[in-house]
């Protein structure tokens, strides 16, 4: 069965500094990996995904993530954080090996960006 | 509208009552998902539908929970004999055949008194 771990409940970063939100996963086959963001009082929005190909994936709002197969990680990064990036971030995985659409989400990491 | 819609937006019910939550996916999307987000928790997978295939019900927490998808479009999540621990935000998402990106609705906040 697939699983996702987001080891940090909360990440604090100063505006202008780089940010990293960590995610590790476990699947039996090859993974589809996703990051979603939930802004206060707004619905979940897609940020980026890794399906195949280049390990570095670029997404919305200047975010990027790197797929690392050996470390089974898919950390979310941004070179320069904005206060408006403050939100709840979810990593998710789907197991290509099962051929199904079941998607497992992590527990979420709350990002606080201070001005 | 172009997005996923859910109704009602809020539902308050008494313990032991049945509730039905509705999801209207994006037109043409073949996959539909239900998740539960409890206060301070992540998203818990409940069930997904994909085209005419049998749904994956592996995330439903008990037999009090069931879901249907009629005509490959609208879906209803039913919770029978609600319990206080069922209180949560229930999220619906849909995705198209050629994309894995899920588009989420605004959710239904269920409160069981």
Bridge pairing between strands A10-14 and A109-114: parallel
Residue A18 has pLDDT above 80, yes or no: yes
Which of these, A43, A46, A4, A3, lies nearest to A22 by C-alpha position?
Answer: A4
Fill in the DSSP letter of residue B26: P
The model's pLDDT over A36-64, given as tens digits with 9 standing for 90+, comes to: 999 987 889 999 999 988 999 999 999 99
Confidence of residue B80 (pLDDT cuts 50, 70, 90): very high
Beta-ladder partners of A2: none
B67 bridge partner residues:
B77
- State pLDDT tens for residues B18-39: 999 999 999 989 899 999 998 7
Q: How far apart are CA A70 and CA A101, in angstroms?
A: 24
Using CA of residue B38, residue B43, residue B48, residue B50, what is the dihedral sign?
positive
pLDDT of amino acid B85: 94
pLDDT at B1: 53
**Contact residues on chain B for A34, CB-CB shorter than 8 A:** 100-102
Q: What average pLDDT score do residues A76-104 get? A: 90
Q: Which residue has the higher pLDDT, B99 or B27?
A: B27
Identify the burial level of B76 via C-beta atoms within 10 angstroms of its C-beta, where 0-12 means exposed, 13-18 middle and 19 or more buried.
Answer: middle
B106 chain-A contacts, CB cut-off 8 A: 43
What are the b/e assignments for A84-94, b being 16+ CB within 10 Å?
A: ebbbbbbbbbb
What are the tens digits of pLDDT across the range B56-66? Answer: 999 999 999 99
- Beta-sheet pairing, B19-24 with B31-37: unpaired
> Which has the closest alpha carbon to B57: B40, B43, B69?
B69
User: Above 90 in pLDDT, residue A79?
Assistant: yes
Rounded to a whole number of angstroms, the distance from the CA of A112 to the nearest CA of chain B is 16
Q: Is the pLDDT of residue A101 over 90?
A: no
Q: Decide if pLDDT at B97 tops 80.
A: no
Give the three-state DSSP class for A56. strand
Say yes or no: B58 contacts chain A, CB-CB below 8 A. yes
What's the distance, CA A108 to chain centroid? Answer: 9
Return the residue matching tokens 């960006």.
Answer: A113
Cα three-residue angle B29-B32-B37, rounded to 5 degrees: 135
Nearest-CA distance B48 → chain A (Å): 7
Position B112 pLDDT exceeds 90: yes
Q: What is the pLDDT of residue A52?
A: 87
Largest CA distance in chain A: 44
Angle in degrees, CA B102, B44, B35, rounded to 5: 45
The CA distance from B76 to B74, in Å, is 7
pLDDT (average), residues B68-92: 94
Chain A residues with CB under 8 Å of a chain B CB are 6, 32, 34, 36, 43-46, 49, 51, 90, 92, 94, 100-108
């Amino acid at each position: 069965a697939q699983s996702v771990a987001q080891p940090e409940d909360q990440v604090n970063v100063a505006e202008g500094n780089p940010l990293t939100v960590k995610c590790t996963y476990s699947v039996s086959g090859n993974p589809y990996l996703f990051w979603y963001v939930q802004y206060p009082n707004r619905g979940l929005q897609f940020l980026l995904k890794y399906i195949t190909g280049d390990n570095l994936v670029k997404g919305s709002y200047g975010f990027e993530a790197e797929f690392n197969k050996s470390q089974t990680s898919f950390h979310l990064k941004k070179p320069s954080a904005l206060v408006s990036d403050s939100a709840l971030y979810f990593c998710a995985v789907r197991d290509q090996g099962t051929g199904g659409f079941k998607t497992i989400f992590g527990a979420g990491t709350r990002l606080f960006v201070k001005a | 509208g172009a997005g996923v819609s859910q109704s009602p937006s809020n539902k308050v019910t008494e313990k032991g009552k049945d509730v039905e939550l509705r999801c209207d996916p994006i037109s043409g999307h073949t996959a539909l998902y239900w998740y539960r987000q409890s206060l301070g928790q992540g998203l818990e997978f409940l069930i997904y539908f994909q085209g005419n295939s049998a749904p994956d019900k592996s995330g439903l927490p008990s037999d009090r929970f069931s879901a249907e998808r009629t005509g490959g479009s609208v879906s209803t999540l039913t919770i029978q004999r609600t319990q206080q621990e069922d209180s949560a935000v229930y999220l619906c998402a849909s995705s198209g055949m050629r994309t894995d990106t899920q588009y989420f609705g605004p959710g239904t906040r269920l409160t069981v008194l």
